[in-house]
Amino acid sequence: MTTTPDLVLWVVLPYACLAVFVVGHYWRYRYDKFGWTTLSSQLYESRLLRWGSPLFHFGILAVLLGHVMGLGIPKSWTEAVGVSEGVYHVLAVGVGAVAGFCTLVGMAILIYRRRTVGPVFSATTRMDKVMYLALAVVILLGIANTVGGNIIDHYDYREGLSVWFRGIFRLDLHPEIMAGAPFTFQAHAVTAFLLFALWPFTRLVHVFSAPIGYLWRPYVPYRSREDRLGQRRGGRGWERVGENRRR
């Protein structure tokens, strides 16, 4: 039997967070176009950024692709193309654990950089702190589920959580499925949707403004200023002022 808390957590909350996600992005783009940016701090420090940023971004991209495959593609589809359940779980644990670890290490470097580099810390907003906290909780719970759900508890999320997740987009949710899921999977789902609700009000909006046009933009030529034959080389500004005074 489905209880009221289950309906709130597994029916009302997902749709409410997705509504805030969509409407919030529209509002942000409509009224805060100049704030639609990553607020880049590369000019302040680049050594730590050079390590932390690729680890975080490529790691989170791999995590996202893994979620698309694990939650969006039914088990019957992967089995139909020859990927057995055993092979899938080996890939899920191996690739998922490595991607999650890289994401976590990259975010730790970025947080350390933001806390220890003065100008970067001064440019850190309250929403940045909330965003990092939410991301850390979601990533840690995801790693716990990857290891625990596949090795320790053997919870088959493709028969549980994935069915519930796909039902969100078919308007056919089954809250009783999530009510019977392990606590870490429940917490991961709740915090992930809360992160979606927080998304439009943080610098994460830059995900939807990748400069794709740069791929086709023509090169801008730069030429050095070469002295012509017989032309007198111009001196520095103060030297030219002194010459004019002597004249």
Ligand-binding annotation for 154, yes or no, is no
Alpha-carbon separation of residue 145 from 57, 130, 173 (angstroms): 21, 23, 22
Ligand-binding annotation for 89, yes or no, is no
Euclidean distance between CA atoms 220 and 217, whole angstroms: 9
Ligand-binding annotation for 67, yes or no, is yes
What letter would DSSP give residue 121?
Answer: H
Euclidean distance between CA atoms 87 and 83, whole angstroms: 6
Ligand-binding annotation for 25, yes or no, is no
Distant-in-sequence, close-in-space partners of 143: CB < 8 Å, separation ≥ 6: 97, 100, 101, 104
> What does the block give as tokens for 50?
């050079």
Euclidean distance between CA atoms 18 and 37, whole angstroms: 22
User: What residues form the annotated binding site?
Assistant: 57, 67, 188, 206
User: What residues form the annotated binding site for heme b?
Assistant: 57, 67, 188, 206
